[in-house]
Amino acid sequence: MEFQKVLAERRATRAFTDQPIALDDLQQIVQLAQQAPSWVNSQPVRVTIATGDTLAKMRRQHAQLNHNQEVHSHSVIPYRPKNEWDSAAQANMDDWFEGNIEQVGIDWRQLSTAAADQLYNAQAIVYLTLPKNYSEWSLIDTGAFSQNIMSAALDRGIASIPAFEFVKYADALRTNIQLPDGQVPIVGIGLGYADQAAAINKIHANRMPVDEVLTILK
């Protein structure tokens, strides 16, 4: 795919078909993602991918955890409710919510919650992990690595979603997949082929005008 198209057309996909992803594709995607820059080439990111039966089991458990009132999410990077973000970020979140109602309908939240219960039916979840005592700079490296994964995937026609949803129960995650020693899960990226018929995939997030985010000093 043309490079500009890869960047312009990537979208968070919230419903994937049952078509599995070839293991070769997964390996090549991660190998390309490794080209991401990192602090002094420290290359702190490790990758664990759940697919097949492992993921089917995790999907069942995830729905149960989401519906268990006694279970609270506990991610490595703490969750922060909307009202604790700065006002500009809150305004963008509100725009996104309104856009979702226009594009998907008033029940977009229910659809989104149901899709989340099923881990969006992703056919592979790529968990990016860091050493427990990671430097905050490594979070930047993880972001770069993530974007490379999503771009390399889309180049092969594979859609993606980066999601808090995948790492919100960090302890349960550790019981299902063995992470490398001393590593903690930072973010998960779901991969698969987009279900074009799914209403939840009609979400198309806007971006702010570039002159509102960019300052060029002369």
Ligand X SMILES: Cc1cc2nc3c(=O)[nH]c(=O)nc-3n(C[C@H](O)[C@H](O)[C@H](O)COP(=O)(O)O)c2cc1C
Taking residues 96 to 125 in sequence order and writing x for each that binds ligand X by CB under 6 A, - otherwise, the string is x---------------x-------------
Q: How far is the CB of 160 from ligand X (least distance, A)?
A: 9
Give the integer Cα–Cα distance in Å for 148 and 165. Answer: 20
Q: How far is the CB of 163 from ligand X (least distance, A)?
A: 4
Contact between 210 and 83 under an 8 Å Cβ cutoff? The reply is no
User: 10 Å Cβ neighbour count for 112?
Assistant: 18
Q: How far is the CB of 96 from ligand X (least distance, A)?
A: 6
165-194 as b/e: b if 16+ CB within 10 A: bbbbbbeebeeeeeeeeebbbbbbbbbbbb
Q: How far is the CB of 143 from ligand X (least distance, A)?
A: 8
Contact between 201 and 13 under an 8 Å Cβ cutoff? The reply is yes
Taking residues 156 to 195 in sequence order and writing x for each that binds ligand X by CB under 6 A, - otherwise, the string is -----xxxxx---------------------x--------
Of 11, 46, 59, 156, the residue at the interface with ligand X (CB under 6 A) is 11
Nearer to ligand X, 51 or 73 (CB): 73
| DSSP bridge partners of 160 | 12, 191
Diameter of the chain measured on Cα atoms: 57
Q: How far is the CB of 112 from ligand X (least distance, A)?
A: 6
SS (H, E, C) 102-123: HHHCCCHHHHHHHHHHCHHHCC
Taking residues 40 to 79 in sequence order and writing x for each that binds ligand X by CB under 6 A, - otherwise, the string is ----------------------------------------
- In the complex, residue closest to ligand X by CB: 205
Q: Is 116 exposed, middle or buried (0-12, 13-18, 19+ CB in 10 A)?
A: buried
Nearer to ligand X, 30 or 161 (CB): 161
Per CB under 6 A, residues contacting ligand X are 11-12, 14, 96, 112, 161-165, 187, 205
